[in-house]
Every structure is written in structure tokens, then in C-alpha cells.
Chains A and B, each alone.
Chain A
Amino acid sequence: MKIDLHTHTRKAKKGDAKTREVSPDVLCGIVTSTDVKILAITNHNMFDREQYDEICDKLNGEVQVWPGVELDIVERGKRGHMLLIVSPQKVTDFSSALDTLTKGCTPDSFTTDIEGVVGNFDFLGPLYIGHYKKKPDLSEEDLERLVGLTKNKSRVIKEVTNSISAGIFVSHGHPSIYGSDIQDWEKYEDVAKGLPELRFPVESFEHFCLLLEKDQLTINTILDKKKAEILELQPFDDDTKIKLKVYNDINIFFGSKGTGKSCLLSSIARHYSDSGVDARVFQSGSTQLAEQYDLKGKTFSINLETHGVNYCTDEIGALKKAREVDVTSLNNYISYFSAENRSKSANKIFLKDMERVEEEAAKRKFKEYDESTKTLQNFYDFMSKDDVIREVFKQGDLDDMMNKVQSLLQTLGEERWKRFVEWKEGHLLNGAIEKIKLEVSRKTGLPGKPSGTGFREYALNRIKIDAMAGKVLENLANPIPYGIEDIGNLGGEKGILSCKTRVCFQKGDITDSTLSAVAKVKKETQKKFAKAVLKVRDSAYGKDLFEVIADMNEIDGSEDIQSIYELLLFGRTFVAGGREYFPSSGESSMLLLHKELDAEKDVYILDEPEKSLGNDYINDVIVPMINSKAKLGKKVFIATHDANIAVRTLPYNSIYRTHGSEGYSTYVGNPFSDHLVNIGDEADRLDWKKISMKTLEGGESAFGERGKIYGET
């Protein structure tokens, strides 16, 4: 909710820009597209009642429109401007009072003095907003004179040029505000972004004035509307218990070092964690960015299957265990043919000389049918039981499809059975041939005919080794995409800082020293093993294949390689502007805090978030982020020594810890009431602003120096 107490809708004076003139229709369209919810119309020395009424009608309560005027004041021969704004309920009296005062003058010729303003308008209880350090401005003496004359002393405000000036003057006890003083309505949407944000919901002009007066009842009413809870904390090693009312908003802890603020934050974190809420204390500088982003990959792991990579666990295990298969000795043939005609009885048993039938291919075929049958059956079961399918399909369509699937299942089942019979027929026949051959040899003492040359078994063994090594190498060749995570903006030319994660397989040719092994395997072992697998594949049909496999098994540490996961290499770096970047400790703090506040949580607990951070970053980035969390109703707890955070966030709750001769004390309050009350003694009250200045900046003088610095900018 933004407020703009200085706008022009008419080109009243000759010097006014034409672009200040705006029709009610256009104005309403523009204002409702911004966050401005309170708008004061303050044309130069005039009030257009008709236009005001039309604007109010068109906005129909969506935006509060307060009537006002910007008056030319001449005091001691010097001209200054003053805004005068009244309650919409007093618009008629205001309009006639202004008409009376300006009678016979044009907006260009009209001037008055402070006495005239007070005399004519004070009965309306207006806001007096004098230009201050904003040309043409009123002097300090002019404003003091105004305060002396008016009955509404709390309603005298200084109008400054921007938020920084306003912040400084407010810090020094001068109620200050700034408005758009719009020159060109076409630019209003942009201008409105920089207008003051109201911390409290302001319901009316009168409500605003009560807040200006720091009316306790009004403040308490607003605070009570905010969700709050009482925390019972035991923050210290002793039995001290502290009851704190905390808000779903900003809760600031401040006080000198060693007053237990961090312990309080830890106990709050414990309180929420015990209730199952994600809450931990963020301590700036306690961890480095490199640690947070695990640059060394200590906790890194990856599921290769999500990248379409097979772990090849079976293949690597089988390769390691691979052994040579013997071939049939030619002597067996010689023996057989030498003895062939010696036993007439044996020659009658033809089965012993039958050729073995192909068994392996039949088995493979059966497995294919078996697999397809099972998959289809699972599909059928899923379709039959799934409620979503039933909802989506029309019953008739579903029945048709299920019947077709059932029919397919039946056909597949029959074919599967045939393949099974073929496989088992061959298996039984081969078993019978071998058995009878053995029996004939035993009875006759003559050797049987060899069933095969051994070529098939020999070749199949090597083919499998070839295929397995090939599969391992094929999976090692799979690229795994770079993971890039944006961390935050470093500002300026550096731009976005990202964390780039590179993961790849050691294929035997990677020598990059910046990469480290993901698993607990030496990089040298990885490299040798990958090379060995390549050599196994290349030697699959060579005479030294099993020597190569033996060498592979002898690689130091190869026993730790169970799958290709153990051949993974990992590298993670920070990157900015397309190059590797090493953030400073200040940048690290900045980005970590940004990340913490960027996370979606209900409770944020920050211990001295300002550490290592520049004022600009705190003001421009961190304070708005904290405020936005508060707007969303999140609980934000901050222990801080920084005035920008403790004051400029305008916390609902300020908790001040102090230590004196009577021990530790806890005070609670807020910037709106300007009080801090001892939770153990309600009569013990402190001035919020003075304590804030003293504690947060080390004394009012420090504030003053800071004010001068900002004042020059």
C-alpha cells in the first residue's frame, strides 16, 4: 500500500507543465494500475471541487482521495511551498475556506503567510507538509513558527525529496515524507514504484493522523489485528524462562554484544523445529559459499538412470570373473573313429551318434515370448484395476479394448508354450544323447562321438565378453549435461554468479586435474580400469584376452569398481561472466543471505545478517526482501546491530536485550509507539528511538555523521 501526498491534476500556474493536466478518467486508469491507495490532490493555490468529486466517484473507494492544495508561502520576504491536506469529510469547508482566502487572486499571483494559513485552515485539522530542503523550501524557523501557531502540532510534516532523506530526518525525530509532485502523468506508473510504502494499513485520513500522533490505542488495534503468538523460551543454560509475544512479521532483537541475542534465536529455532517447522538460525559468515554449494562434492550423488545410463553392474562383475572355455580335443574324434567298428551292438544304438540340437537360441526365443507375455499381462491387470482409466474411458470402449488385449494374451500364451516345448525338447534330447553316449562308452569301453567341436561354447563366451565390454564403453560414452544453478546477482559487470557442475565418465582419456572421483576410488585406478575395459573389448577374439582380463583385475583398487558409477568424475565451480569466479567473503555473505531469504519457509531466523555486507546491499536488496516476507505473513526473527535493518524494516516487534548491574533485562516495543517496555517491570520504559540510535550505531553522533554523508548524496 503506497501513499502519494503530493500530486497535481491541473496546470494551475503558468510555470506548471502541461503534462500535469489530467482528466479524471485517465487519472483513475493510471492510479489503479499502481499500488498507490492514498492520493492527495494538491494543485497550486487552487482546488477544483468538481474534478475532485468526479475522481472520487470514478475511483469509488478503491483509492482514498484526500483534498488538498499546494500554497505559496512568503515569510520574511522568502517564498516557500506548503501542502495542506484535509480529511475528505471536510472537503466542502476546505473548498470554501480556500476560495475565501484566494478570492481576487490567480494561482500565479496568490501568496499567503504561515499565520494566514493557520488562521484560515487550522480548524479543519489539516496536515501541514512544508517543503524542506526541496525548492522552494521553508526554513527551519518557518516550520517552528507553524508548530507554534497550530493546535495540530503532530500534523506538521517535512516534505523532502526522496526516501533516503526521509529516512534520515525520521531518524532524527523529524516527521518526514515525500510525494511524487508529478510532472507528467504518463510516467506516473514508474514514479509510483518509488513512493513511500505504508507499513500499517491506513483506513482513513483520521486514522493516518492518529498514527502520526503515535496514538497507543490505534497502534495496539493494528498490532492486535496481526497474527501473533506467545513463545515460552528457555534460551540460556540456567532456568531463566522468557515469554515473548512474536508476530507473523518482523521481530528484531538488538542490544550490545554478549546480551544473549543469539541464544534467544537458537531457542526460537528449537521451539519451531520441535513443532516440526523448518527453522534454523542463519548465521552470516558461519559457512562459506564453497561449503554451502559443496564444491568438493562431499555429498554429491547422482542417479545415472535418470540420464539414461545403465550402471553396468552385472557386466563389470561378469567381465572380472570371465574365464576361458575349452574346446573339444581332436583326440576325442581320433579315438572315436579308431574304435568305431569294434562294437556291433553299440552301432545299433543310433541315438548316441545323433547331433546335438540347438538349445540356446530356443531358450532365448522362449524368454522373449515369456517377457512379452508378462508385460502384456501386467498391462491388462493395470487397465482392469485402475480407477482413472475407468473414469476416462467409456465403458463400452474399455470393454472392447480389454477383450482385444485378452485375445492377444491368449495367442501369446499359446506361442509362449510352443517355444517352451521347443526349448525343453532340445534340452531333453541333448541330455539323452549325452547320457546314452556315456552309458555306451561305459559298457563297451569305447569312446563316444564328440557332440561338438566346442566352437559354439568357445565363441559364445567371447561374444558375451565382447558385448559386455561394449556395453560398458557405450554407457561410459554417455554425456551427462552440465548442471547450472544460479546463485545470485553480484551486480555490475560481474552479473549473475552460477554454480556449474560437471559430471563425466573416465573413459581412459581424461586428464583434467580439476575433476575428482565421485566414489571412493583413486582417479588413477579409474583411468587404468577404463583403459583395461577398452582393451578387453579390442582383444575379445585375441589369444591374450584372458591375460588382459587378469591385468584388469590386478589394477590396484579395481576391486572397488563395481559399476560405472565408480568411474564418474565430478567438478564444480563458480562461474560469472562466462568464466570461473572466486567470490570474496563479502560476496559469499551477500549471496548466502539472499539464498536464505529466497527459500520458501514460514520462519526465517537471521543472526547478524549484516556481517560483511555493504549498506547499499542491505538497503536495496535485503531490507526489501525482509519486508516482502513480512507482507506475506512470515515470521522473521533478526538479531542485528545494523540500524538499516532494525529501523528501516519498521518491525512490529523490537526486542531489546541489555545487561546492567541488576543482570540481564528484556524490553519489547516497536517504532510506532516509540517505547520499549521491560517484560519484567511494565513501569520500566525506554525510548525506542534513543535506544536504537545508541545501540545500533554506537551513539547519536554516529547517526549524525551518517546523516551528513547521506545528505550530500
Chain B
Amino acid sequence: MEKLKVEVIEENFRHYICIDSEGEGLRIPLSEDNPNAIKLVFNKLITRLKGGKYELTMGDAGQDLFSQVAKEYVVQLNRELKEVYKDLEHYGLIEGKE
């Protein structure tokens, strides 16, 4: 199964969970409450999932708050990705599959 690398990055005093998807960095903001930004990333994750299963992997996370949050978030997201893949299969939306 394909693995997408995840890391926490800081930019201009703002923290993000950054998912590396085919060279594109999908950013989930940690320092602000921005549901639309999360939805944008989710849309891309679903679209990517239609092409096949994948998993998010996070290297050694630090003990800081954002790293702990990101770690937990990725764990939960991975579980949900698996469920959503099943949903896509159920509705016949996996590309290349009936």
C-alpha cells in the first residue's frame, strides 16, 4: 500500500500538518480554526483514494502540543481513510473497478 509522508511544519509562526501527496503539500492548519482549509485537503484525499488505497505515515513526532495533536489526528485519519475506501468500493466509485 502506498504511504504518504506526513509532518508538522511551522511557517510564519503558524503550524500545519503537511501531507505529501504526489509532490503537492496538503496543509491542514493547526494554529487556527479553518474548516474550509481542512475540507479542501479532505476533498483531495478522497479523490486520491478513488485511485487506490494509501496510508499516512508520520515520522518521530516531538513532544510539543502540535506534534501530539498531529500524531493523534493522523492515527484517526488513517482509520477513517480505510472506512472511506470501503464506502467508495460499496458505491462503485473506485476507478477501474465496477
Contact = CB atoms under 8 A, between A and B. Distances in A.
A414 B97 CA distance: 31
B69 to A, nearest CB: 4
B4 interface: no
Given A466-B93, A542-B43, A460 B33 contact: no
B65 A338 contact: yes
A327 interface: yes
Interface string A443-465: 00000011111011011101110
Interface residues of B, number: 36
B33 A462 contact: no
A126 B81 CA distance: 107
Interface string B81-98: 101101110111100000
B65 A330 contact: no
A463 B91 contact: yes
B42 A450 contact: no
Interface in A458-480: 458-460, 462-464, 466-467, 470
A421 B70 CA distance: 34
Contact of B87 (A327, A330, A338, A360): A360
A458 B30 CA distance: 19
Contacts of B81: 455
A464 B76 CA distance: 22
Given A330-B28, A463-B93, A337 B43 contact: no
A54 to B, nearest CB: 79
Given A450-B76, A452-B76, A327 B35 contact: yes
A4 B62 CA distance: 116
B83 A360 contact: yes
Nearest to B44: A541
Given A334-B65, A361-B83, A453-B80, A543 B73 contact: no
Interface in A332-356: 333-334, 337-338, 355
Chain A interface, DSSP helix/strand/loop, else mixed? helix
A458 B72 contact: no
Interface string B20-61: 000000001110010110111011111101000000000000
A355 B76 contact: yes
Contacts, number: 92
B28, B36, B42, B90, most chain A CB atoms within 10 A: B42
Contact of A455 (B42, B69, B75, B92): B42
A453 B76 contact: yes
A364 to B, nearest CB: 6
Chain B interface, DSSP helix/strand/loop, else mixed? helix
B35 A329 contact: yes
Nearest to A451: B76
B65 A355 contact: no
Contacts of B65: 334, 337-338
Contacts of B36: 543
A333 B83 contact: no
A326 interface: yes
B5 interface: no
B35 to A, nearest CB: 6
A21 B88 CA distance: 88
Given A464-B91, A467-B91, A543-B39, A456 B83 contact: yes
Contacts of A338: 65
A449, A459, A543, most chain B CB atoms within 10 A: A459
B25 to A, nearest CB: 17
A691 B50 CA distance: 89
Contacts of A327: 35, 38-39, 42
B79 interface: yes
Contact of A541 (B47, B68, B87): B47
B93 A330 contact: no
B84 A333 contact: no
Contact of B84 (A330, A450, A459, A543): A459
Contact of B39 (A337, A458, A466): A458
A294 interface: no
Contact of B80 (A330, A337, A455, A470): A455
Contacts of A542: 43
A451 B86 CA distance: 19
Contacts of A541: 43-44, 46-47
A450 B88 CA distance: 24
B90 A364 contact: yes
27 contacts: A327-B35, A330-B33, A333-B72, A334-B69, A337-B65, A355-B76, A361-B86, A361-B87, A361-B90, A449-B72, A450-B76, A451-B76, A453-B80, A455-B42, A455-B84, A458-B42, A459-B45, A460-B84, A462-B43, A463-B93, A466-B93, A470-B93, A541-B43, A541-B46, A542-B43, A543-B39, A543-B40
Chain A to chain B: the 6 pairs with minimum beta-carbon distance, closest first: A467-B91, A456-B80, A333-B69, A455-B80, A459-B84, A541-B43
Interface of A: 326-327, 329-331, 333-334, 337-338, 355, 358, 360-361, 364, 449-453, 455-456, 458-460, 462-464, 466-467, 470, 541-543
Given A458-B42, A460-B87, A466-B91, 16 more contacts: A330-B29, A330-B33, A333-B72, A334-B65, A355-B75, A355-B76, A355-B79, A361-B86, A364-B90, A452-B76, A453-B76, A456-B87, A462-B43, A463-B46, A463-B91, A543-B36
